């Protein structure tokens, strides 16, 4: 069964204009090959993701002071430096916005580095407990609004990559400014959170689905993807200028179709 696609009438003008702009997008994207984590900041490109790092097993109840720290200065390996640079880029808006003194900010970076190192190491022993300990310390360090900000960013790699490819792709024709980049990411992550809650009703976590359950999953996935795309584009229209929103609509339409196909395969496999 193919996943049905729909296009709300209110977005047809954008999509029609986006079709005319598709050649511009393709040309611009060719000028900048997509990377796995490519969203740019104002002054420098995003650092590359570090390769898998090994960590020593640790027990419960460790404190921030006992977390492994990358060696400083010349003693730090290239991998340690890359990991820290990636953390400071991925969580740049949290680090900018959280009202922390220098010592607390340094502790926040250490905790974030420790978390990113763990999630990149499938061989880490007692991973759940270690991550839970880090999350507990982050909760204690951050205020309520900053906790929510952190949680939205911790699994944002794919979204930051996509928006980075979009921003880099249009840089020569309709560049984004820093405020647009920040607001666009926040809008994307808000729409993603709603999408993921709705996707839970499709029960894709189950190892097997009946014929009727698969049909229901198709319906849920299609509707959730359409709302995800439309909700994000509505917010983006208040952030971007006319040319930027046309190009974003073209890019998002393509990316959402890829996601639709991926989810269709996942449903068919059950």
pLDDT in tens, 116-136: 998 887 676 678 888 899 999
In this prediction, residues 207-228 reach a mean pLDDT of 93
Degrees, nearest 5: CA angle 18-24-27: 140
Indicate if 147 and 83 belong to the same structural domain: yes
User: What local confidence, expressed as pLDDT, does residue 119 receive?
Assistant: 87
Residue 92 binned pLDDT confidence (cut-offs 50, 70, 90): very high
Domain boundary among 127, 154, 181: 154
End of a domain among 112, 127, 154? 154
Do the domain assignments include residue 35? Answer: no
My answer on whether 186 and 263 are in the same domain is yes
Q: Which long-range contacts (CB under 8 A, 24 or more apart) does 15-21 make?
A: 15/249, 15/253, 17/246, 17/249, 18/246, 18/247, 18/249, 18/250, 18/253, 19/250, 21/243, 21/246, 21/247, 21/250
Asked, for residue 53, whether it belongs to a domain, the answer is no
Specify whether 141 is located in the same domain as 195. no
Residue 40 lies in a domain: no
Q: Which residues constitute the domain of residue 225? A: 9-30+171-268
Q: What is the pLDDT of residue 59?
A: 34
Model-level pTM? Answer: 0.71
- According to the model, what pLDDT value does residue 182 have? 96
Residues 6+ apart with CB under 8 A from 239: 180, 183, 184, 187
Question: What's the number of domains the chain is made of?
Answer: 2
Residue 248: is its pLDDT beyond 50? yes
Residues in the chain: 270
Give the model confidence (pLDDT) of 28-47 as tens digits.
444 343 333 333 343 344 55
Three-state DSSP class for residue 170: coil
Q: How far apart are CA 173 and CA 119, in angstroms?
A: 37
70 to 67, 76, 83, 134: CA distances (angstroms): 10, 6, 9, 16
Residue at 163 is within a domain: no
pLDDT at 127: 81
Residue 248 inside a domain? The answer is: yes
Mean pLDDT score of the chain = 79
pLDDT in tens, 42-89: 334 455 544 433 333 333 333 333 444 444 545 568 888 999 999 999
Residue 186 lies in a domain: yes
């Amino acid at each position: 069964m193919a996943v049905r696609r729909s296009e709300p009438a209110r977005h047809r003008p954008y999509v029609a204009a986006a079709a005319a702009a598709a050649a511009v997008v393709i040309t611009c994207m060719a000028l900048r090959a997509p990377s796995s984590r490519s969203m740019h900041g104002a002054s420098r490109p995003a650092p590359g993701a570090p390769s898998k790092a090994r960590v020593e097993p640790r027990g419960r109840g460790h404190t921030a002071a006992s977390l492994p720290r990358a060696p400083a200065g010349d003693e730090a390996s290239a991998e340690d430096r890359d990991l820290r640079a990636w953390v400071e880029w991925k969580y740049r808006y949290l680090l900018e916005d959280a009202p922390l003194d220098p010592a607390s900010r340094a502790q926040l970076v250490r905790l974030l580095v420790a978390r990113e190192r763990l999630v990149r190491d499938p061989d880490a022993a007692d991973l759940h407990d270690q991550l839970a300990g880090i999350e507990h310390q982050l909760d204690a360090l951050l205020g309520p609004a900053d906790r929510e900000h952190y949680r939205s960013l911790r699994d944002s790699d794919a979204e930051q990559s996509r928006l980075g490819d979009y921003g880099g792709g249009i840089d020569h024709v309709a560049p984004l400014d820093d405020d647009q980049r920040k607001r666009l990411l926040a809008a994307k992550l808000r729409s993603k959170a709603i999408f993921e809650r709705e996707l839970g009703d499709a029960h894709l976590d189950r190892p097997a689905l009946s014929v009727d359950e698969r049909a229901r999953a198709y319906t849920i996935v299609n509707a959730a993807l359409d709302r995800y795309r439309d909700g994000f584009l509505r917010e983006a229209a208040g952030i971007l200028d006319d040319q930027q929103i046309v190009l974003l609509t073209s890019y998002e339409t393509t990316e959402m179709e890829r996601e639709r196909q991926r989810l269709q395969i996942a449903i068919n496999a059950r």
